[in-house]
Amino acid sequence: MSIALLPFRAASFVVCAASLAFANAGVLLPGDKEQPDPAIFSLNEMTVEIVIDNGTARVQIHQIFENHTALPQEGTYRFALPAKATISDFAVWEDVTRIPGVILERRRAGEIYEESKAEAIDPGLLQMGERDADEASRSQEFSAKIVPIPAFGTKRIEIEYQHPVAVENYQSELVVPLKPDLYGVQTAGHLSVTFELRSGHPLADFRAMAKSYPLQIRERTPNLVKADFFADNIPLREDLAVRYTLDPAAADTLRVITEREAPQEPGFFQAAALLRGGTPQPQAPQATRTIVLLFDNSLSMQWDKLERAFAACEAALRRLKPPDSFNVLLFNSEVTAFAPQPRPAIPQNIEQALDFIRNSRIRGGTDLQKALGAALTQSTSGDPYLLLISDGGATEGAVQNAKLAAWYTAEWRKHPLAKRPRTLVFGVGDDANQPLLKMLAANNGFFEWVRSTEPIEFKLNAFLDKIGREPVKNLGLTLTPAADFDLVYPLEDVRFPGSVASWAGRYKKPLADAAFTVRGVSGRSPLSISTKAALPETSADHPYLPRTWAKARVDALLEKIERDGEDRASIDEIIRLSKQYKFVTPYTSFLAVPRALLRPRVIRPGDPVLRVKTDESIVSVIALFPFGLIKPLRYLQAENTWQARFLAPADLADGAYQVRLILRDHDGQVYRETKSFVIASKIPTVRARLDRARVRPGDTVRIAAEVSSNARTITARLYGTLPIQLHWNSAARANIGDLDVPPNLQPGKYAIHITAEDIAHNIGTEEVSLEVW
């Protein structure tokens, strides 16, 4: 569908507003710009590490951006996440020092960020949305403020998030957002992707969907897939997607996984039942479906959002059969109907309805209350459905989530039971108001959401396949002995045959044989799936499980807040869980700012400096070094920093060491922190070769270098050219770089200097001879 199908006649300021509303994964915007500018920042390197562990995906993204200007820059790092994803780690690097993020209450994090920025400390602030907790709760768009990015220097940013991977009709799809929305295509100087899939239920199929990033499968068993992909100078034109199928022969089985860090800590479990797929229940002979489709054509529905909304609408209408009936209501500030009442779903009417949408204009605000009210007044027969396609961003009428959702439920319940439409909601856009859309779908319906740029086919087909099907009802998990478990939460809202029903909870003490039973009603038949599993005293096989449970608990509290309003106890518990299990919520932010920095953290034996920043209450800092030195730190008032120089013995062996810091405040309270550093004295070894020893001016020569593992950067230099970086190539099992010989270089023999530098700034070199003739 071309955007021209819906004429756009809005003022230009709306486009600017939209560019702020949408995001890519991993775009760095200069501080005063609303679009990326490769003349200021370029993406030198990007590493994506993906692990799917029994339905939970963990994605780590490491990126290195280069500042091409002669001035330090401030940047805004923007990205959008998949549905139900949560940030679980965030860090920025200052030179060779990794500054990990810590979770703070949202307002306090912003205050410290501004203080640190003013003092020229290197902070990074990561939060949901841009303004407040209310906006953040509606958004899967995240932003990270990064400052400073040094002149002609680089900035490394690390993000980790995790999210559940849904199963529909035995199939799952994982999408890592890389494709741009309104921003231009990024090119990664070097892209590295590693992928691992682990499943307790056996796998029947696995496919890599992205043509731009063809994953190479390295290992495959019924319960494991490992793959990778490496490339240089690759445009990020599409999202990275994989699709896999669980074996239907394993249906009606229950798998349990556990995690417990220490005997004194609570244990965590996840129970996942693969529900047997079924055929849709036949309708009564005279029963037909009536679908009232609400299509949002307000100004917020532009570009890729509009494409996806129309695709969903067209697919839904074309699935209807002549006995069915339908109507289409377009809504923005007003509601415009295709017909006064639903029409028969014959091909002629469907084509006219699609033309009606194509010929409409996007304009105005969004009065969702008026649209829902108009849909409920439509006369329906047979099996009624209300299908809403929108981003849920109400700007007129009732706009507060809880108020609007409560109003709709009250109006919906005024209808006789048989006339209450099943409320199906298909959310579109990175900024979709998911809390509201989920509350609307709770009225005997279901909810799905797609980002502005992700592939729509899998989610849309799974969504539409549910029309006419009954979910598995009254699903519940029974645990024995019940007293050993608490705070158990379902991880899915609605479960259909062919999907996975899972729960996460805590257990109190280890047991050799706990019983797990899932019960419900599938179609007209009772469902019962049981298994037994041990609850170990310690288990470290699934480190993401505690965060999965904590996220489920926080989601339950956020739903309570959306429904009943904020209360201090709920907010305090959300903040506490967010800090303890390290993930971002609407009430917290990740702040990466140094509290105690040892510079440099990786050093050669010699005379480094220990620098510590503390809050104002600290009056004394003493450092205890691992080689016996005890050194008090001196307070530098002008820099608000504690500092001491120390001598690292020349015979100190290479390896990691820890410095213990003892801090005392003005009330006499003592605090202890531990910081680590690494002694690295071995010079990197370099062995280099050229693909040819004689070249003509203007030719390109490929350099392959074998370098010891402690090297951080590898550079090649030739007289008359700029230096180039060499990068690891797994196929060649060497670091590879292509060097262009200047076209005006005079004939003769030249030396190419290959330099390898480690993070302690030890430098190893190698020269190779090149003849130009």
pLDDT digits (tens, 9 = 90+) for 182-205: 566 789 999 999 999 999 999 999
Q: How far apart are CA 99 and CA 557, in angstroms?
A: 31
Looking at residues 662-669, what average pLDDT do you find? 81
Bridge partners, 104 (sequence order): 589
pLDDT confidence tier of residue 119, bands split at 50, 70 and 90: very low
Report pLDDT digits (tens) over 322-373: 889 999 999 999 999 999 999 999 999 999 999 999 889 888 889 999 999 9
Residues 6+ apart with CB under 8 A from 444: 420, 421, 422, 423
Torsion of CA 531, 534, 535, 536, to 10 degrees: -160
Q: What is the pLDDT of residues 206-216, one digit of tens each?
A: 999 988 999 99
pLDDT at 8 over 50: no
Task: Lowest mean pLDDT of 195-199, 275-279, 329-333, 658-662, name the range.
Answer: 275-279
DSSP characters over 222-281: TTEEEEEEEEEEEE--S-EEEEEEE-GGGTTEEEEEEEBSSTTSPEEEEEEEEPPP-PPP
Mean pLDDT of 501-509: 96
Give the pLDDT of residue 618: 84
pLDDT at residue number 673: 74
pLDDT of residue 681: 66
DSSP letter at 679 equals: E
Range name among 91-105, 115-129, 396-410, 518-532 with the lowest pLDDT average: 115-129
pLDDT of residue 560: 86
Count other Cβ atoms within 10 Å, centred on residue 7: 12
Q: How far apart are CA 733 and CA 764, in angstroms?
A: 19
N-to-C CA span, the chain: 56
**635-650 residue pLDDT tens:** 888 767 788 877 777 6
**CA–CA separation, 190 vs 48, rounded Å?**
11
Q: How confident is the model at residue 132 (pLDDT cuts 50, 70, 90)?
A: very low
The string of pLDDT tens digits covering residues 48-96 is 999 999 999 999 999 999 999 999 888 888 876 776 788 888 888 877 7
The label of the residue with tokens 């480190």 reads 543
How, if at all, do strands 734-740 and 641-645 pair? unpaired
3-state SS, 18-39, equals HHHHCCCCCEEEECCCCCCCCC
Which residue did the predictor score with more confidence, 213 or 141? Answer: 213
SS3 call for 357:
helix
Average of pLDDT values for 721-743?
83
Q: What confidence score (pLDDT) does residue 564 get? A: 79
Decide if pLDDT at 39 tops 70: yes
Give per-residue pLDDT as tens, 234-248.
Answer: 999 888 999 999 999
- Percentages helix, strand, coil for the chain, rounded to the nearest 5? 20, 45, 40
